[in-house]
Structure 1
Amino acid sequence: MKKTQPIIAGIDFSSPSENVLKHAVHAGRAAGVPVIAVHVLCASHLHHWGKSAGEAEAALEKEALEKLEALVESTVPGESVQCVVCTGRAADELDRLTKEHDAGMLVIAANDMSKRRLGTIASRCVRLVPSDVLLVRDWQEGDFKKIIVCTDFSVSSNTILEKAITEAEANGALLEIVHVIYPPNKDIWGKTLEGGESDTATYVAKVRAQTQEQMDQSLADFADRLKGITHTTKILESVVPSVELTYHINESDADLAVLGTRRQSKLASMFIGTNAERLMHDSEVSVLAVRC
């Protein structure tokens, strides 16, 4: 993250807002970048006022700004946080402000009241906003203790891994680097390969060894930074990677998952889902969605 790229914290004054603000300030302090706290007023609220739209909007924005400044002062006293209030659709306004400020990260609450699915605004932000997006789960507080990063050994994985290492350094967290392969003893339909037992065992062992070599090679450029944090590697096998990753994350005592995502157009964002988004919906931890 460039020193000129701020972090934007989306604040809706729900119960997770304090955690969102704390994580944004923590990340900003670690990266040496400013933090902007943003509250978006819903345009439909103006219809409940008897005044003209202009007067109503000005009055509500003034009230919201005072409330936002009070939240900043009580949650992160002494920190320099710029407060901004605007009116419109939340996801669209956060998208606009992220572009306008060339922000490096947007931090928002997952607002997953069912503990299973992302809130509508959080989901749209992940699809639309050009920056990285940190989704903070409603029931999580404090620094992250264990971080899982998902890698596929591609060029973009270096960016994802670097962001995960930065988070681990900033939080003093454990880091687990995970890769998922198709089971080498299965055919394309998921059935166990037939053949000589020794031949199959040799082939499976060879594939697993080659995968571990790829993992080691992919981490070579990060050797110096990894020395400073406690880290492990894990190779999973599954015919459905997103399901296996979600299960592993939920069972591993992790509290943050770092993975890569691609931004979609507004039209596509209404209809198209991805493995990454399914993982974000179904995992029970906070997620840092890194733009690739």
Structure 2
Amino acid sequence: MNPTQPILAVTDFSPLARHAAERAARLAHETGAPLTLMHVLSGGALHSLREWLGASHPLAAQLQADAQQQLDHLAADLHAARHVSAHTALASGSVLDEIGQKADELNAALLVLGARGEGFLRRQVLGSTSERLLSRTTRPLLVVRQTPHTAYRRALVALDFSPWSLQALAVARRVAPHAHLVLFNAFQVPFEEKLHFAGVDANTIEHYRQQARTQAVQQVHALAESAGLKASQWEPCIVEGDPSQRMAQQELALDCDLVVLGKHGQSATEDLLLGSVTKHMLAEGSADVLVSTAHAS
């Protein structure tokens, strides 16, 4: 991660949002990147409050003061634990717009959110608002669901061999520089059911299967070589089957604490992030999820 570009951690003060802030602080300490902690008060909720109680009622100001105090306490806790001096940013308005504006203002290298939170974060990570946020951002996004006791140890990096795969690998190395990388690809025999239905014999289909596996193995090794990985830094994980199911299985079987996905891929929509794989990993996986948002130029 570029140490001159800040990390922006967004919090709603829920327990998992605190995990996200702690992970962001750990990354800031490891990389030397500046850290900003942000909380957004819903502009719609504040507007409704002023309508109910009157524009001059002090409660709205008190809510802002309370939120700033919580941000300051969180920053102090992170400084004591991680020796990182975090800036704080309090905003009100459209949550997505405010996050995007602050990320642009900072030129943030990474956005960090909790996997599930209270209020807006829960809806954004698991609901349609999340999809809009993730599809809108041009920056890597880290969704944290684990308590960050240590630096990332093993990262499962999903590769589909699109132009985004090499960039996803580069982002994984910046966010988890000390992790052992598991380069994952799930292959399938194209139109296997239709081949059976058309009467193609089993031996021919098995030949296609072995051909698909061999091609995947070759492409994974080629990507590792292009990324300059040493043999001790990575291992291949080539499996057959549905990517969503197989990725979740391998995450658990190989004890990975980070899963890395590319925002765009070779799917019907050319958008892996909004497809079933990422949704499945966010909803069902147990590891943190890092989403890369750019392809290699």
Q: What TM-score, normalized to structure 1?
A: 0.80
The equivalent residue for 1:64 is 67
Rounded Cα–Cα distance in structure 1 between residues aligned with 2:158 and 2:33:
26
Shift of 1:237: 1.3
Rounded Cα–Cα distance in structure 1 between residues aligned with 2:259 and 2:93:
31
Structure 2 SS opposite 1:219: helix
Whether the aligned pair in 1 keeps the contact of 2:258 and 2:289 (CA below 8 Å) is: yes
Q: Is 1:180 paired with 2:183?
A: no
Shift of 1:228: 6.1
Q: Is 1:142 paired with 2:143?
A: no
The equivalent residue for 2:223 is 218
Shift of 1:190: 7.3
The equivalent residue for 2:267 is none
Q: Is 1:127 paired with 2:132?
A: no
The equivalent residue for 2:269 is none
Whether the aligned pair in 2 keeps the contact of 1:261 and 1:276 (CA below 8 Å) is: no
Shift of 1:55: 5.5
Identical residues among aligned pairs (%): 22
The equivalent residue for 1:151 is 159
Rounded Cα–Cα distance in structure 1 between residues aligned with 2:8 and 2:49:
29
CA RMSD of aligned residues (A): 3.2
Structure 2 SS opposite 1:82: strand
Unaligned 5+ segments in structure 1 are: 263-271
Structure 1 residues 214 and 277, CA gap change in structure 2 (3 angstroms):
closer
Rounded Cα–Cα distance in structure 2 between residues aligned with 1:182 and 1:221:
24
Q: Is 1:166 paired with 2:169?
A: no
Q: Is 1:242 paired with 2:249?
A: no
The equivalent residue for 1:4 is 4
Unaligned 5+ segments in structure 2 are: 265-272
Rounded Cα–Cα distance in structure 2 between residues aligned with 1:54 and 1:98:
32
Q: Give aligned pairs, total.
A: 275
Give the partner amino acid of 1:68. L
Rounded Cα–Cα distance in structure 1 between residues aligned with 2:67 and 2:291:
29
Whether the aligned pair in 1 keeps the contact of 2:195 and 2:205 (CA below 8 Å) is: no
- Show CA shifts across 1:174-215 (max 9, x none): 32110121137x625474873273x55555434322321222
Give the partner amino acid of 1:81. A
Structure 1 residues 147 and 200, CA gap change in structure 2 (3 angstroms):
same
Shift of 1:127: 2.8
Alignment map for 1:251-290 (pairs within 5 Å): 251-262=253-264, 273-279=274-280, 280-290=282-292
Structure 1 residues 79 and 16, CA gap change in structure 2 (3 angstroms):
same
Whether the aligned pair in 2 keeps the contact of 1:5 and 1:33 (CA below 8 Å) is: yes
The equivalent residue for 2:108 is 103
Give the partner amino acid of 1:282. E
Structure 1 residues 196 and 180, CA gap change in structure 2 (3 angstroms):
closer
Structure 2 SS opposite 1:178: strand
Q: What TM-score, normalized to structure 2?
A: 0.79
* Residues 20-29 or 46-55, more deviating: 46-55
Rounded Cα–Cα distance in structure 1 between residues aligned with 2:25 and 2:155:
19
